[in-house]
Amino acid sequence: MFAKYSRASLKSSRPPLLLALLSGALFAGAASVFAVTTIGANISTGGTLTVTGQSALNGGVALSSTTPWGLFSINPNGVSGPAFAIGSSTKTDFVVTNAGYVGVGTVSPSFPLSVVRKTSASGLVEVADFAQTNSNAAVGNETGIGIGNGAALISSWINAPGQGGLKFYGSVSDALFERLVIQGAGNVGIGTTTPWAQLSINPIATNGTAPSFVIGSSTATNFVVTNAGNVGIGTANPLDLLTMTKNAAFSTGFGFSNSTAGGGVYFYLAGDAGGSVELDYTPASQPVDALIDIASSAVIRTSNSASGGLVLVAQGASAPIRFGTGGFALSNERMRITSTGSVGIGTTSPAKTFATNGDGFFSSSATTTLYIHSSGGSKGGCIQLTGANGTQYRAYATTTGPLMLEVGSCQ
């Protein structure tokens, strides 16, 4: 049975002897136990119970509950303060609120677990498993997580060369699979457990058709590398090793630059047969601004379906189209088409629509014919000859008469 004591009977000075309660005690008000106490049964109080000595409890302890279901049970119902606290309301080390939130270093946690550092020099959370002889020399294996001072640290260290690292796993059908690894040497692997570069990505079958690497979204893709190894710029579905797409006029192409004084840039393509195409932008010391350098032999052609033919255009208002052999120096120019359409062979300044500087030879296995025709003028087709002394002769056929040869010019 319980022994019942009033508040007044327990207000005496501290008793010097051991109080043993074998069958339980019931306190109507506040109670104090000042010495070593052994309680063998239930003890209940309707007020405050103060224990200043040692107490041994053979059963569970309950606060605000008569039916503890653990060795230590707290029922915060009807309590205005927190369920459990270490410290004071102004200097709280640990608190469990009535809502079940846990706070470390704060009296009012905003999340299920809130950790607030007390000083700027201390961290927030540290979970570690390591052995150290001093602050500078680690002698064992170390694994830990640290959060604080504006940074988060996740570390794994093994006292052996090339060892250690971090691994991240994902689950499929309750089975764990390694998805990302950071090796101790710093190499990062996605889809591979053995990255051989600083960043290695290996497509895995569970990703389906998802690309290996992408910048942007599936509807607005800036850069993509597919599982087949094709690279796309401006497209999510590159059909070739490199595909560039942009829905804007005059904005799709390669851009190359060289900021070094006197330096040039080039774009080089080579094939198995030894042929190559090299597009160069030469420095200012060279006579041309752009160069297409084709090793071995070269064929420039259009496809069978290209009805527009092959178009060569010099964009500048006074720019000619030049043809040369033996090198790209100006002295190696052999033919040009001026901006006005005149053609010069052996001359850079053709005075007429067609001009040559040198001999002409016409030959054929059949009859060789030179056609000269004009639909206007009284002289029709005309050949003008200039002698060594500057005298001009003309040969022409009139519309009604024979071939004429006389002194004079055709025009």
Task: Give per-residue pLDDT as tens, 184-219.
Answer: 888 999 888 888 899 888 887 667 778 888 998 878
CB atoms within 10 A of CB 250: 6
Query: Which tokens hold the place of 260?
Result: 């070094």
101 pLDDT higher than 80: yes
**57 contacts: CB under 8 Å, gap ≥ 6:** 39
156-186, pLDDT tens digit by residue?
655 555 566 788 888 778 788 888 888 888 8
278 pLDDT higher than 90: no
CB atoms within 10 A of CB 365: 5
Higher pLDDT, 410 or 35: 410
288 pLDDT higher than 80: no
323-349, pLDDT tens digit by residue?
988 877 888 999 999 999 999 999 999
Q: Give the DSSP letter of residue 297.
A: -
Predicted confidence band at 34 (pLDDT cuts at 50, 70, 90)? low
* Cα dist from 370 to 242, 381, 411, whole Å: 51, 11, 20
Q: Are 138 and 156 in contact (CB under 8 A)?
A: no
Higher pLDDT, 284 or 89: 89
